Every structure is written in structure tokens, then in C-alpha cells.
Amino acid sequence: MRSPFTIARLALIAFLAWSCHGAPFAQTAGGPAFEVTSVRPNKSNDPASSRFPLGPGDAYVSGNLFSATNQPLIAYLRFAYKLGQGDLLGLPAWVYSDSFDIEARAQGSPSKDQMRVMMRSLLAGRFKLTTHTERQKKPVFNVVLAKARKTGPQLQPDPEGGVCSTPSRLDLPSIPCGSVGPVSASGPERGRLVGRSVTIGQIAGILANPFTGVDRPVMDRTGLSGTFDFSLEWSLTRDSAQKPPLQSDDDGPGFFQALEKQLGLKLVSATALVDVLVIDHVEHPEEN
């Protein structure tokens, strides 16, 4: 058995991009848990797969089964704690290099966030994971309106306020009401995020991830209330999280340009108190 990994308090932190919007990240002892679980190492060269996306978005296949194959532990950590972009620096190499198949079944038909809470219990039991959270002052991005009291054409108020009984005024794919996440874009080397009847806080929570290149938590400072439909598409290859380069019109806008032109939003550097996840202990699991 490989030796356990334990770190000193505060030696390791990860931003929680969803700190203002997600479920509380308390320890899950005695909380919701899967009824049946299986954790097995996977040493094949097969591509990683999962029943639904493991990122911080809301895209989800309803039901009571969690199933993912050939995924590293870091992917399960990001799913369980709704982590955005950024490595958990200082973790042992096997957290990134060793892959596992996890299959777990729950009672009823839990939501994706309820699945996340149950995954925390699974990680605590099988990987001996222990964590805690703290409030720390860190660099963030504030998302604000690029022009006062004006949103972009691809960010439309939802007059029904979360009912979604009529079609959206935007050309959106079929996604669950109240959800936000990545979908297929109009071409290769392009990214697309959409949301149906979501708050600006939910939009801010999805902006920090490897897909966009935004490497800090994003805080809603727009002052906008209510829910919105939105669609955001950008070039994946011509942008930087800190300084967007010049692009030709044929390439399409980079992320920061698209955010301003399509949604009427922009990101402004700031510092703020944010919740950080501290990993205290993790072990390589015994095989079933």
C-alpha cells in the first residue's frame, strides 16, 4: 500500500470558483451517501469518460447512477467540490497520474449537487480524504457591466423567472431550466457556454475554468437581479487570461472580447475574501 499523504495546515489551497453559489462544503460524515459503490484502478490507455460532465457546470443526466471511467482523482475532487481552474499544488503525483473507475448508485433521483455531496462521502471513505475550508483574501475577478445599465445581445432577461414554459428569445440548445454549462460550438477551436434562466451569480461561477482561461474566482458585481438566458461563444486559441491579443475577424473574438461584445460584461482584477478548500489528508485506496 502506498503511504498516506498528509499536509500541514494551510499548506495547500484551491480556489472555489463557486464560493458564493454552490452547496456548503462541510465535512460529510453522517450526511448523504451512495448506497452501493465501486472504486477500481484503471491502467488502460482507454480515453476517460463519464456519464455526465464532471466540471463545475450544471449539465447533468438525471437518475441515481454515477459512473466514470479512467479518471484521475483530481477530476473527482473537482467534481465533488465544484472546483474551477487550478491545480491543487503539492498533492502527490498519483492524484494526477493514476486513474480510477468509480461507479456508485444512490437512492431516488438526486440532483447533480446532491451527487457532489455524496461523492465527498465516497472520497472520505475510500481515499481517506479530509478537508476543511477557510476564508482568505485572494486575487479575484469582479464581473461588471461594460456599459452602465446595458447588457449585451446574448444576455437576455428571463421574464418568467425560472419557469421556462416558453421558448427562449436566444437560439439555445435543449438544456434544463436553471442550468449553465458548456455545449457544442459552431466550429472547431471554439468554445461555447450557455445558460437558461440563470442568475448572474451562476454565470460568474462558471467563468473560472480551463475552458475559458480565467484562473481566478469570479465575483458578481453587476448589480443585476433576476434570471437570464445567455449564449457566449469565443475562439479557444487566441486569448489569454491576462492580456487578450489582437485577432483577425475570421478567427472570431477571444474570450474577453466575446464576453464584452456578446454579454455586455467585463472582468476587472480585484482582491476579496473567498472560501478556499484545504486538503489535509489523502491516501491511495485499496482495490475493491
Half-sphere exposure of 4 (CA within 13 A, CB side): 12
Flag whether pLDDT at 251 surpasses 70: no
Q: What is the structure's pLDDT at 272?
A: 93
Euclidean distance between the first and the last CA atom of the chain, given in angstroms as a whole number:
14
Comparing 49-53, 70-74, 218-222, 267-271, the range with the smallest average pLDDT is 49-53
Per-residue pLDDT reduced to its tens digit, 78-97: 899 888 655 565 688 899 99
Mean pLDDT across 169-189: 88
Flag whether pLDDT at 239 surpasses 90: no
Of 66-70, 75-79, 177-181, which one has max mean pLDDT?
A: 66-70
Flag whether pLDDT at 190 surpasses 80: yes
Comparing 109-113, 178-182, 259-263, the range with the smallest average pLDDT is 178-182
Report the C-alpha gap between 183 and 195 in whole angstroms: 10
Flag whether pLDDT at 68 surpasses 90: yes
Q: What is the structure's pLDDT at 159?
A: 82
Flag whether pLDDT at 242 surpasses 70: no
Confidence of residue 98 (pLDDT cuts 50, 70, 90): very high
Flag whether pLDDT at 10 surpasses 80: no
Report the C-alpha gap between 283 and 288 in whole angstroms: 15
Q: What is the structure's pLDDT at 87?
A: 52
Report the C-alpha gap between 113 and 111 in whole angstroms: 5
Flag whether pLDDT at 134 surpasses 60: yes
Residue 240: how many CB atoms within 10 A of its CB?
Answer: 11
Of 26-40, 53-67, 136-150, which one has max mean pLDDT?
A: 136-150
Mean pLDDT across 241-252: 47
CB distance 149 to 225 below 8 Å: no
Nearest residue to 280 via CA among 30, 13, 83, 72: 13
Confidence of residue 57 (pLDDT cuts 50, 70, 90): confident
Residue 241 phi/psi, 5-degree rounding, is -70, -20
Q: What is the structure's pLDDT at 97?
A: 93
State the pairing for strand pair 65-72/155-157.
unpaired
Report the C-alpha gap between 222 and 219 in whole angstroms: 9
Average pLDDT, rounded, for the chain: 83
Task: Tell whether the torsion through CA atoms of 103, 109, 110 and 112 is positive or negative.
Answer: positive
